Amino acid sequence: MAASRYRRFLRLCEEWPVEETKRQRDLGAFLRQRVAQAFREGENTPACDQMYESLVRIHTNFYKNKYPRLKDTTFTGVTVEDCRMILATDILKQMEDMKKGTWKRLREKFSAKKPEEDLK
């Protein structure tokens, strides 16, 4: 039973897309890590089956198909593609850099050591 449960999870992980634009924040990559960790610890509970069924519903867009939307935009008029672009890791990093003050940017630019080393 546990072997078939593990195979089902592996099959789901293989089908789950990995978004390269969301490095270190991707749901597919997180699921792969979580499944590997859970089965390494010997997870063999009914909650595991519930989790699998929930993930399948998300993966197959069960609720999106069950409750179709009239428009593919938000109340602001932003489309799905615009949201994907905005949430991309590179864009978020650029926005974070824009938030930094002038003094901090100059200090990072002319500092001999990396900003991560300041935190240590």
Round to whole Å and give the CA distance between 18 and 92: 18
Q: Yes or no: say if 28 and 17 are a contact pair by the CB < 8 Å rule.
A: yes
What is the pLDDT, as a whole number, of residue 57? 93
pLDDT digits (tens, 9 = 90+) for 49-68: 888 899 899 889 999 899 98
pLDDT digits (tens, 9 = 90+) for 20-41: 777 777 788 888 888 888 777 7
Higher-confidence residue of 66 and 2: namely: 66
Round to whole Å and give the CA distance between 51 and 37: 15
Supply angle C-alpha 66, 51, 11, rounded to 5.
90
pTM greater than 0.75 = no
